[in-house]
Structure 1
Amino acid sequence: MIVWLNGTHGAGKTTTSALVQRLIPDSRVFDAEKVGETLMDITPGLPATDNFQHWPPWRPLVVETARRVLDYTGGTLVIPMTVLFEQYWREISSGLAQHAIPIRHFVLHADQDTLRQRIAGDTVLGPDSLFRLRYLEPYAEAARTWLHAEAEVVDTTHFTPAQTAQQIADAVKSQENDPASAKPRR
């Protein structure tokens, strides 16, 4: 199974993923951004882009990497990764479905003011405000048009990362006990 943690910068995906991993037995965190970093290291470089997700190889490589890791280890992969383009999410989710890998897709959501405060106060990644703030409006647009309808939304505005992780782990565990309780997917 894959537990995908989506949402924009500042929502708490990275912090929450490590906590979710501790709460779900036999799980591992797979940072799909590392696949993008590998593509960025190709020399000479791939065609210029402002987001490695635009490179066509990224999506199938994420699917293939997740599939191979799960074939090798079993269990659950927790993937903290922002995907705001519906087409890209469709490619990834259908690719995983072709391999019969179930996905629990969660969107970590917070209001814009909270996101801005978190980004500005991030001591781990640093504020890098220009890059990270640039994704707030595309996230809001994706949330309005498709993303929130496609996932289980967890509002992190007033939750600690530990509370958010517990909510997600509880949802995953309840599905394991009652598969019919999962939110239906399109």
Structure 2
Amino acid sequence: MIAWLNGTFGAGKTTTARELTQLIPQSRIFDSEQIGYMLRHVLTEPVDDFQDWPPWRPLVTRTAVEILNYVGGTLIIPQTVLVERYAREIFQGFDSEGISVQHFVLHASADELVTRIEGDQIDTMAREWRLKHIARYQEALPWLRDAATIVDTSGLPSQKVAQDIASQLRQP
């Protein structure tokens, strides 16, 4: 099974993913951004986001499938995907492999996201890039609301968000 944690930067995906691994037996985090970092060493065609490279999406799916085939359990994937076609492509790939995906969107208001991103002392280099994505996230919200379970993270500690998600996960 896969628990996909979507949402824009600052929504709490990574922190919530860490908390979820403490609540879900035999779970582990799969950071699909690593696929993008790998592709940067191979592909030189310019893109705004590594998700725009066509190989990224099937490589995420294939890698997750292989990991699950090897270790079983639950993969928690904290990854922002704001392009509906990209999400559909990834999730259809899992479906064709018989892998259940539960898609959650960690949501916070634009003001709260700005506060969180500006307060992040760890990733100051990407601050402007992350802030620019708030508008893209807002534009994607209509399809995200239809495609996923929205989890409002406003004012909630990550432990509570993780508990809420864990209680909603349906074991296959």
Cα drift, residue 127 of structure 1? 6.4
Query: RMSD of the TM alignment (CA)?
Result: 1.1
Cα drift, residue 149 of structure 1? 1.1
* Larger RCO of the pair (alpha carbons < 8 Å, separation 6+): 2
Aligned to 1:22: 22
Q: 5+ residue gaps in structure 2?
A: none
Q: Which amino acid aligns with 1:157?
A: S
Cα drift, residue 134 of structure 1? 1.0
From 167, 171, 174, the equivalent of 2:168 is 171
Q: Residues of 2 paired with 1:30 and 1:93: CA distance?
A: 15
Moved more, 86-95 or 125-134: 125-134
Q: Residues of 2 paired with 1:7 and 1:167: CA distance?
A: 16
Matched, 1:33 2:30: no
Runs (4+) off by over 6 Å = none
TM-score (norm 1): 0.90
Q: What secondary structure, in the 3-state scheme, does the structure 1 residue paired with 2:45 have?
A: coil
Aligned to 2:87: 89
Q: Residues of 2 paired with 1:150 and 1:82: CA distance?
A: 14
Number of aligned residue pairs: 172
What aligned pairs does 1:1-186 form with structure 2 within 5 A after superposition?
1-42=1-42, 45-126=43-124, 128-144=126-142, 146-172=143-169, 175-176=170-171
- What is the percentage of aligned positions where both structures have the same residue? 48
Q: 5+ residue gaps in structure 1?
A: 180-186
Q: Residues of 2 paired with 1:48 and 1:77: CA distance?
A: 30
Cα drift, residue 126 of structure 1? 2.9
Q: Which amino acid aligns with 2:140?
A: A
Q: Residues of 2 paired with 1:129 and 1:76: CA distance?
A: 31
